[in-house]
Chain A
Amino acid sequence: MKKVVDVSFPIGPVHPCWKEPVRLKCETKGEKVLQAEVELGYMKKGIERIMRGRPWQEVMFLAERVCGICSVIHNMVFIEGMEAMSGIPVPPRAAYLRVIANELDRIQSHLLANFSYCYTIEHETLGMYLLNVREKAMDLLERLTGARVNKAYMIPGGVRFDLQAEDHVIISSTLDQIEPDIMRYTRMFSEGPLIGLRSRGIGILSEVHAREAHAVGPTARASGIRTDLRTQHPTYQKIGFSPVVRTEGDNFARVMVRFQEVAESIGIIRRCLDGLPEGLIRSGGVCGAGTITHRGEAPRGELTYYLKADEYGRIVDISIQTPSIMNIEASAHYMIIGATSLADVTSTFISADPCIACTER
């Protein structure tokens, strides 16, 4: 059969909607997307090659520079992997402070992802509201860890800074301010008729396809897959929480899962602050030899570190699997196919929250 229109439509690498360079090549017929292909490699820095042969003190700082948006979880998974390998105990207070830092990071990451989505569907008002709330979460992170983006808060055997009494008050009062705002913006998003037209029923990822593409994180949870590695983390089990799962699988569901997870994270931080144990924040320990595969739930999904260290704590071998690559695969091969407008291609791709710096390292 002869094709009437067959255009390969490239999007990127420099594109107004995309924070990072990535190229998406769409085979289109009219405006209907028949198939799409992702071209990666614009940000390959070879960070795993740099890490090999260096002591853990250096790799710890390199690990959080794998990704600037979710730097806390990279630090956390690497440090917890080193601890599990060498049998270093963590004081209960430090374990709780780690959860607080991680959840604050999740809040700011999810708000940034939802800002990007709102910006892409050209609802700039809601996007700016979200970016403004995010600044409050960044302030709390700065108060707790001393830096805005690359924090290096966790070290083997504890954390670097304690939570002072006045910080305790400021964090809970700021959370009280943030929560009604988040509720309001969630309602704006879920009830907005124009947002609904651009989001509901677009970029559908069914549960079968999500499993085939190995989707993780909010993308998988929006398609009805109940997967959250935080349920297996000992500190989170103590605090108690339930993963957010939706079943629609469209752009709307993915953004709403992130909104609901922000509310969930605020609850987790509150419970942490209420039950914060007294005591040491650093207990010390020596990093030794071993091999381990350690996992953690990043804002975008499952993050895996494979570590191999020698007896002096030097990293002999390391390999990182970040969540975005699976979500990009799901996005390019399942969600975008059949999109009836090219404007939906960018918004669908952004709704999976691709982090190219993570993916390529």
Chain B
Amino acid sequence: MSLLQRVKNVVRSRSIHVCFVDVGSCNGCDIEVLATLAPRYDIEQYGIYVHNNPREADILLVIGAMTPQWEDKLPALWERIPEPKAAIAIGNCPISGCVFQRRDTYVSAPVAKFIPVAAEVPGCPPRPTEILSAILSLAPTVFKDFEERRR
């Protein structure tokens, strides 16, 4: 392993930028993602920084059951995220559509039809601790030795 790769591994393990996008949920998962910012859960002590800029993000949190408006916008947003990147589906909605995947609905779940989803956190909504542990357990598998593995 090269020295550069080792430095990158160390830096990336404590610096994860997260962007969250709501593609049509009931807002319940949004507020649980916001609750991870609270000093009780304190997402920033693990080096995770939540902001909504896809061009700087490493991890995309997808919330919601995929409404028609997002079908072209979500892949475009995914393209803007620089490599290495990963998407996490938060809640039941992006996994299966939850209660919205019924007759006469407008949504077209799952989100995995549109972008590659690396991890799924089921729950309606999942607890903030579960969201936090999903990001923390996914990060090393995506970011460790990224350049060497790609070669």
Tell me whether B11 is interfacial, beta carbon within 8 Å: no
Chain B residue with Cβ nearest A48: B104
Hey, what's the 0/1 contact readout for B45-74 against A, CB within 8 Å counting as 1? 000000111100000000011011110010
Q: Which of B22, B23, B73, B107 contacts A19 (CB under 8 A)?
A: B22
Query: What does DSSP make chain B's interface, helix, strand, loop or mixed?
Result: loop
Tell me whether A336 is interfacial, beta carbon within 8 Å: no
Chain B residues positioned under 8 Å from A149 (CB to CB): 28, 31-32, 125
**Does A50 contact B67, Cβ atoms closer than 8 Å?**
no
Tell me whether A61 is interfacial, beta carbon within 8 Å: yes
CB distance from B20 to the nearest CB of A (A): 9
Please choose the segment from B1-9, B36-44, B110-118, B136-144 that sits at the chain A interface, where 4 or more of its residues have CB less than 8 A away: B36-44
Q: Which of B92-113 contact A (CB under 8 A)?
A: 98-100, 102-107
Q: A50-B99, A50-B105, A62-B99 are in contact. Are A138 and B25 (CB under 8 A)?
A: no
**Does B35 contact A43, Cβ atoms closer than 8 Å?**
no
Q: How far is the CA of A47 from the CA of B37 in the complex (A)?
A: 30
Residues of A in contact (CB 8 Å), total 41
Q: A50-B102, A69-B27 are in contact. Are A43 and B64 (CB under 8 A)?
A: yes
CB distance from B109 to the nearest CB of A (A): 10
Tell me whether A150 is interfacial, beta carbon within 8 Å: yes
Hey, what's the 0/1 contact readout for A56-96 against B, CB within 8 Å counting as 1? 00000110011111010000000000000000000000000
Q: Which of A20, A62, A135 contacts B27 (CB under 8 A)?
A: A20
Tell me whether B134 is interfacial, beta carbon within 8 Å: no
Q: A43-B64, A44-B67 are in contact. Are A14 and B37 (CB under 8 A)?
A: no
**Does A20 contact B30, Cβ atoms closer than 8 Å?**
yes
Tell me whether A280 is interfacial, beta carbon within 8 Å: no
Q: A65-B26, A68-B29 are in contact. Are A131 and B105 (CB under 8 A)?
A: no
Q: A68-B125, A135-B40 are in contact. Are A46 and B106 (CB under 8 A)?
A: yes
Q: Which residues of A contact B (CB under 8 A)?
A: 13-16, 18-21, 41-47, 49-50, 52, 61-62, 65-69, 71, 112, 115, 128, 131-132, 134-135, 138, 148-150, 355-358
Give me the 5 closest cross-chain CB pairs, A-B, nearest first.
A68-B28, A68-B27, A357-B27, A49-B104, A131-B38
- Identify 9 residue pairs between A and B in the complex whose beta-carbon atoms are under 8 Å apart, listed by A's number: A19-B22, A45-B65, A61-B99, A68-B30, A68-B125, A131-B34, A134-B35, A149-B31, A355-B27
